Amino acid sequence: MAKATRNDVARLANVSTAVVSYVFNKGPRNVSEKTTKRVLQAARKLNYQPNSIARALRTGNSNTLGAVINDMTNPFNAGVYEELEMLAAEQGYSMLFAASHGSPEREHLVTEQLINRNVEALFISPCENIELSPINTESCKFIVFDVDRKLANATTISTDYAKAVETGMAHLFEHGHTNVDMIIGNSLNGISDGRVKGWYHAFTQRGIPAGHIEYTSFTRNGGYEAMLRILDAPDRPTAIFAGSDLIALGALRAMHERGIRVPEEMAIISFDGTVDSQYTYPELTVLEQDPKAIARLALETAIDPDFKPSLHLLEAKLVIRQSCGCNMETK
């Protein structure tokens, strides 16, 4: 069967070929909602696919967005990018995905490859302390996730890590815990993000000596090994703040293996609030990020014609379950 053309769509929709172009190129002339709907219905019926390369050459817009993901197995990352892909499709954009697998060298390589594919904007979850200096950021817009500070040539979108951790620590203090250790990843070249800053600030505000921070990777195994080190230390804490749900999952396994009752002997709070946190025993109390809000803001930023570098911090929600010591009597 021959491939449908713009002329075919125009005939079926009873419009000119120029109107078909206006619909798929989003201009330069406006098309009424009723006519647009008729053109799109005709295109779907004919399985018409516009030539994106030719359109990009004509308009300078590829209607393609790129994403570089550092860990495709992380449930939180998956939630953000799944929502982002769906929202982009609703706006007529396609997405190209690449994985860095935690390698800064590969991160720069796939970033350059996506830029060469003429993406209009690029979303990146960095695996290092990224400044984007080696990358040509003038050729497309950059939106950086999980960085809670300003960058000179990109928009950064993140949960307000510091505020979230202070909220979580305040809850642990209310339970009477003053000897609290933190387990957190150090993937950003050892640079402390807002989670660590919020952690220290929570202790300073109350005049309490800060607990120990055990650095590891943002993985289940990282949390498991870090928790074993904490349990083998002479000054065992009464509570743990985990920097991610994956870390918390590993920490819970280590505590269960050592016969530590949670939360009776050791409480734990986690950061992320992915679906996995609802299926642990006990259920994890979490600082819940909002992947849908992050994705929505990221797409709005990416397609904004007046794009300019900026910082956006979103609030996390304290979701109280059992691992902190609350609600145990209901189970």
CATH number, domain at 263?
3.40.50.2300
Same domain, 305 and 322: no
Whether residue 59 lies inside any domain: the answer is no
Report the CATH number at residue 32: 1.10.260.40
Same domain, 240 and 295: no
Whether the upstream peptide bond of residue 282 has omega within 30° of 0, thus cis, is yes
Listed in sequence order, the residues at least 6 apart from 173 whose beta carbon sits closer than 8 Å to its beta carbon are 202, 206
Same domain, 84 and 209: no
Tokens read off for 175? 């339970």
- Point out which residues pair with 174 in neighbouring strands: none
Same domain, 109 and 167: no
Tokens read off for 74? 């992380």
Q: What is the pLDDT of residues 171-195, one digit of tens each?
A: 999 999 999 999 998 754 444 578 9
User: Taking the model in full, what pTM does it have?
Assistant: 0.78
Whether residue 218 lies inside any domain: the answer is yes
Same domain, 75 and 218: no
pLDDT the model gives residue 58? 46
pLDDT the model gives residue 105? 84
pLDDT the model gives residue 62? 64
Boundaries of domain holding 31: 6-50
Same domain, 173 and 281: yes
Whether residue 57 lies inside any domain: the answer is no
Same domain, 173 and 278: yes
The larger pLDDT score, comparing residue 271 to residue 50, is at 271
Whether residue 310 lies inside any domain: the answer is yes
Same domain, 35 and 120: no
Tokens read off for 4? 């449908």
Exposure of 163 in the CB half-sphere (CA atoms within 13 A)? 11
- Mean pLDDT within 280-299: 96
Same domain, 149 and 222: no
Task: Give the burial class of 282: count Cβ atoms within 10 A of its Cβ; 0-12 exposed, 13-18 middle, 19 or more buried.
Answer: buried
Which residue type is seen at 12? L
The beta strands (E) that lie in the chain are given as 64-69, 94-99, 121-124, 141-145, 155-159, 180-185, 213-216, 239-242, 267-272, 285-288, 311-314, 317-319
Same domain, 108 and 41: no
Q: What is the pLDDT of residues 303-322, one digit of tens each?
A: 888 888 899 999 999 999 99
pLDDT the model gives residue 328? 66
Same domain, 323 and 197: yes
Q: CA-CA distance, 34 to 260, in Å (whole number)?
A: 64
Whether residue 55 lies inside any domain: the answer is no
Same domain, 122 and 188: no
Q: What is the pLDDT of residues 198-221, one digit of tens each?
A: 999 999 999 999 999 999 988 999
Residue whose C-alpha is closest to residue 178's, from 158, 151, 205, 153: 205
Q: How many domains does the chain have?
A: 3
Whether residue 24 lies inside any domain: the answer is yes
Residue whose C-alpha is closest to residue 118's, from 66, 155, 153: 66
